[in-house]
Amino acid sequence: MTYALAGALQAAVYARLQSYAPLTAIVGDAVHDKMPAGALPQIYVALGPERVEEAGDQTGAGAWHQFEVSVVTENAGFLSAKEAAAAVSDALHDADLTLGRGRLVGLWFHKARASLAGEGRRRIDLTFRARVEDN
């Protein structure tokens, strides 16, 4: 097993989301790898929790990463959140990302959950699964 590729995977996912035009058309530059300080944007995307499982074999170290990307909005209704979530899904599902270390074998959408997040906010948590190998 290796957790050594977690940072490289996060950096590649973050860069992809920040540069994906259909997503930035909806949220602007409000893509965060940590919760923003101060006043929150009307709609934003944030990288969330991650779970990693061993996936190495005789050929080398590897891991399954299951991670969340959240869309949060104060906009009325879920429509804008769903549009942003669709853009996140389009940006990441089966994306061919280059990692700073190791190799991405595959990246797939796994599931999503839409919920009310209190104080009039709507939230969609998208879960993705990535398989990585260390070179």
> Exposed, middle or buried, 107 (CB in 10 Å: 0-12/13-18/19+)?
buried
Taking the CB of residue 66, how many other CB atoms lie within 10 A of it? 15
Reading across the β-sheet that carries 103-118, which strands appear in turn? Answer: 31-32, 43-54, 62-73, 121-133, 103-118
pLDDT at position 58 is 64
117 SS3 class: strand
Among the listed residues 97, 106, 120, 15, the one whose alpha carbon sits nearest the alpha carbon of residue 65: 106
Are the C-beta atoms of 84 and 26 separated by less than 8 Å? yes
Give me the chain's average pLDDT, please.
93
pLDDT at position 114 is 96
Mean pLDDT of 8-24: 98
pLDDT band at 1; cut points 50, 70, 90: low
Q: Which residue has the higher pLDDT, 31 or 3?
A: 31
pLDDT, tens only, 114-134: 999 888 899 999 999 999 999
pLDDT band at 87; cut points 50, 70, 90: very high
Taking the CB of residue 64, how many other CB atoms lie within 10 A of it? 15
Q: Which residue has the higher pLDDT, 76 or 10?
A: 10
Q: Which domains does the chain have, with CATH numbers?
A: 6-76+105-133 (3.30.2000)
Q: Would you say residue 43 has pLDDT above 90?
A: yes
Token code pair at residue 48: 């969330």
